[in-house]
Every structure is written in structure tokens, then in C-alpha cells.
């Protein structure tokens, strides 16, 4: 039942399911619609996070990665796709232990480079003045996907639509599909000006869709969940979702979880699904 989907294809499926489909609306040629694309995309990304929260409990290694992280003046920025820090090691491979911010060493005392604390999206070493490259082992979370029209092009660069994130490096490493030029590419760099570095040429007004980071067998569940939530929550939707619809979705979700992500240790499906609110 699984299929490889991008944000454009998911948006298209959702619009068909809520009886609000028109190609010009999906591609952003017109915005005359009862339910706009930005709202639908917000529900699509919520659905992706819901599915991720279940998967990370059952197959945590699938979302585990490492990164060289540079401390300057004992401060380092966390990557935008991090969900949990699993371990931090110094330049010699020794573990750096986490402490709560309230336990950091007072300013008048020399701290220890063996400890770090977190404040927002930054890590701080307990000892001041350290500039070095450490290794961060962390659990990733799926970044929001986006679709739209390319607004400008350059040498191996494209400017994404206004709906894209204005955060440096946000889409780095993500797969993007050009619908009009019919190719798949990888974003190797991204700036807060919405400029993505890619390998292939593109045209202004080409439609694109970024591919979800959750495993491919679960892609088909994203438009299903988003559709249910829109039918339940949007006041202008033509048909409301009911308990039977949600039960059918949960059964499909359950079957896919046990087929692809069944752990060696048995875990109740109810326990898995309740992780959503706790993780994000």
C-alpha cells in the first residue's frame, strides 16, 4: 500500500479527498478556494509529525544520526532536524555529560569541559572559552515539507515559494521533485532567502514538492490523516469525518506499523500512539 510521495502529490490527494481539487489551485495559479493550500500543508505536516511520533518509539535507530558540531566560545548551535540528544563526545571521543542549566558552574569558578547544558537550540559547555569540534549523536525529527512554484533560478540554485521556511540550512539533504521538469534532486544547501542549491536546471514557475523524511512505506498515511483532520476541524469542509473513518485509518496505520516497524519486544499499539503528544 506504500508509495513514494512528495508534498505536491500529497496536497493533490488531500484536495481530491475533500472535494476541493483544481489543478490551478494545487499549483498556485489561483487562490480562489474555500480551503487554501497553506492551511492544508499545515495539516499535512501535522500528520507527518503524528506518524513520526509513533515510529520513533518502535524504530528509534531509523532516526539516529551523528554530526560534527563546532563549539565557539563554548557555544554550539543544534541542527534544525534534532529531536533528542543521545550523546555528545569531545574531540578525543570522550563522553560529555549533560547537566541541568541550574547546575552550571558559577561564573567566578572555572567549569569543566566534561559537562554541557542546553538552552533553547544551543549547547553550552560548562567551561568557558572552548573552541573545538565535537561529535553529536542525536535523534532526528522530520522537517516540514513544502510545495509551490520556483520564483527565481541561478547557477545550480532555485528560489522556493513564499511558503518555504526562512531558516538557513533547513532543507539541507532533503529530496525535492520538480513536477514540470520531471526530475528528482537533493538540496545540498539552503539559505534564509529561500535559495536552494541543487544539481539540475529549472525554470521559473516550475512546480516542486519536497519529499517527507519518514520511511517511504508510511507516506501514503500522510494524506489520509491530513484529510481526516481537515474534515473534522475546518468549518467549510463539505463532508465531516466520523469515528468509522478514524478507526479505518488507525487500522491501516496499525497494519503498516507491524509490517514495517514491529520491534523485537512487543509494544502495545495504544502505547505507541500516545507518544505523539509527549515527543512534539
Looking only at the bridges linking them, the beta strands covering 115-119 and 64-71 are unpaired
User: How far is residue 50's CA from residue 276's CA, in Å, rounded to a whole number?
Assistant: 6
Residue 39 parent element (H or E): helix 37-58
**Which grid coordinates are listed for 189?**
544547501
- CA distance readout (Å), 122 to 6, 70, 118: 31, 11, 6
State residue 268's pLDDT score.
53
| 35-42, Cβ contacts within 8 angstroms, sequence gap of 24 or more | 35/230, 35/234, 35/236, 35/237, 37/11, 37/147, 37/163, 38/163, 39/230, 39/234, 40/11, 40/14, 40/15, 40/226, 40/230, 41/7, 41/11, 41/145, 41/146, 41/147, 41/163
Using alpha carbons, list the distances in angstroms from residue 106 to 101, 125, 142: 11, 13, 37
For residue range 103-156, list pLDDT tens digits in order. 777 764 678 889 999 999 999 999 989 999 999 999 999 999 999 999 999 999
Per-residue pLDDT reduced to its tens digit, 50-97: 999 989 988 888 999 999 999 999 999 998 888 999 999 999 999 999
- Residue 279 has a pLDDT of 42
Q: How do residues 151-190 score in pLDDT, each as one tens digit? A: 999 999 999 999 999 999 999 999 999 999 999 999 999 9
Q: What is the pLDDT of residues 20-39, one digit of tens each?
A: 999 998 998 888 888 999 99
pTM over the 0.85 mark: no
- pLDDT for 276 beyond 50: no
pLDDT computed for residue 101 by the predictor: 82
Mean pLDDT of the chain: 90
**Residue 275 pLDDT exceeds 90:** no
Q: What is the pLDDT of residue 270?
A: 55
* Cβ pair 5, 184 in contact under 8 A: no
Tens-place pLDDT, residues 216-268: 999 999 999 999 999 999 999 989 999 999 999 999 999 998 888 765 445 55
Angstrom distances, CA of residue 147 to CA of 5, 12, 94, 98, 150? 12, 11, 42, 38, 9
**3-class SS of residue 101:** helix
Amino acid at each position: 500500500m506504500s508509495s513514494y510521495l512528495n508534498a505536491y502529490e500529497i496536497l493533490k490527494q488531500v484536495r481530491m479527498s475533500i472535494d476541493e481539487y483544481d489543478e490551478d489551485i494545487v499549483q498556485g495559479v489561483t487562490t480562489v478556494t474555500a480551503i487554501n493550500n497553506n492551511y492544508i500543508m499545515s495539516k499535512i505536516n501535522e500528520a507527518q509529525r503524528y506518524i513520526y511520533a509513533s515510529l520513533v518509539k518502535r524504530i528509534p535507530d531509523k532516526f539516529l544520526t551523528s554530526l560534527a558540531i563546532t563549539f565557539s566560545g563554548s557555544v554550539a548551535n543544534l541542527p534544525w532536524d534534532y529531536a533528542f540528544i543521545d550523546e555528545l563526545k569531545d574531540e578525543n571521543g570522550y563522553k560529555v555529560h549533560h547537566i541541568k542549566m541550574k547546575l552550571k558552574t558559577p561564573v567566578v569558578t572555572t567549569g569543566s569541559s566534561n559537562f554541557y547544558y542546553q538552552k533553547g537550540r544551543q549547547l553550552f559547555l560548562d567551561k568557558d572559552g572552548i573552541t573545538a569540534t565535537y561529535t553529536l549523536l542525536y535523534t532526528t525529527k522530520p522537517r516540514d515539507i513544502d510545495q509551490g512554484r520556483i520564483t527565481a533560478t541561478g547557477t545550480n540554485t532555485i528560489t522556493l515559494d513564499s511558503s518555504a521556511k526562512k531558516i538557513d540550512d533547513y532543507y539541507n539533504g532533503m529530496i525535492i521533485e520538480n513536477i514540470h521538469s520531471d526530475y528528482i534532486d537533493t538540496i545540498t544547501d539552503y539559505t534564509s532567502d529561500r535559495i536552494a542549491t541543487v544539481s539540475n536546471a529549472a525554470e521559473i514557475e516550475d512546480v516542486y514538492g519536497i519529499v517527507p523524511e519518514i520511511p517511504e512505506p508510511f507516506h501514503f498515511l500522510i494524506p489520509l490523516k491530513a484529510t481526516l483532520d481537515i474534515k473534522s476541524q475546518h468549518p467549510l469542509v463539505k463532508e465531516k469525518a466520523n469515528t468509522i473513518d478514524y478507526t479505518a485509518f488507525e487500522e491501516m496505520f496499525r497494519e503498516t506499523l507491524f509490517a514495517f516497524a514491529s520491534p523485537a519486544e512487543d509494544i502495545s499499539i495504544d502505547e505507541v500512539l500516545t507518544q505523539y503528544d509527549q515527543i512534539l
